[in-house]
Structure 1
């Protein structure tokens, strides 16, 4: 499962790296007012922490037994489909006056559907 000690250390380290890089990049951008190419590089720097978090999640999934992998596959499929349907519907609703959905909102939506998917899949395989 996604709550073992090694996983928590790996994910915690990745999230810490992300936060440090995020605050560091924001500080440097405000302090230096860099030109465009450097500004883009600074803006993307926190992605190193995000990539480390993705790697920690993949390593945790690779360490799972077959049933836990099946539960995660079901949950990820539900997350993918739920996110796709919700963002697709939101896109249509924007023409009716809803505000634009920012790309930053997609990951929290996906995480919410993943959590719901895990709960449903765990109950299914009891």
Structure 2
């Protein structure tokens, strides 16, 4: 949890710094792209921390996580595909920034269901 917390803290600091620097300097081209992607260093650190955490889990904890991740992956696929079809009927466009919150919410639901299942 400490590693993940530090990674998310790094992400937050880089996000605020990136946005502030972009407003102040108003870069263009490659510099603007590099600045926009700067917070991804924190996101990559979070991925590393999560993978290390999964590696440290026992078999039951891994099974709970697997079930939750499977629900999250499949549920997100169904929701985003369905939304894509709905867009052709006039629904507003689903922004890519919404995919992770959908995955995160479904992962949380998956954790809840898996923990109840394996009690």
Please, which of 19, 23, 31 is the counterpart of residue 30 of structure 1?
23
Aligned residue runs from structure 1 range 46-57, under 5 A: 46-57=39-50
Secondary structure in structure 2 of the residue aligned to 1:122: helix
Say if 2:10 is the partner of 1:41: no
The equivalent residue for 1:115 is 108
Tell me the TM-score normalized by structure 2: 0.97
Pairwise CA distance, 1:122:
1.1
Please, which of 80, 88, 92 is the counterpart of residue 81 of structure 2?
88
Pairwise CA distance, 1:33:
1.3
Distance in structure 2 (CA, Å) of the matches to 1:87 and 1:59: 29
Question: 1:54-109: CA deviations, max 9, x gaps?
Answer: 11111111100001001100110000000000000000001111100000000000
Please, which of 7, 13, 32 is the counterpart of residue 6 of structure 2?
13
Pairwise CA distance, 1:13:
0.7
Pairwise CA distance, 1:35:
2.0
Structure 1 ranges of 4+ moved more than 3 A:
none
Please, which of 59, 62, 65 is the counterpart of residue 58 of structure 2?
65
Number of aligned residue pairs: 119
Pairwise CA distance, 1:51:
0.8
Distance in structure 1 (CA, Å) of the matches to 2:4 and 2:42: 10
Distance in structure 2 (CA, Å) of the matches to 1:38 and 1:19: 20
Tell me the TM-score normalized by structure 1: 0.92
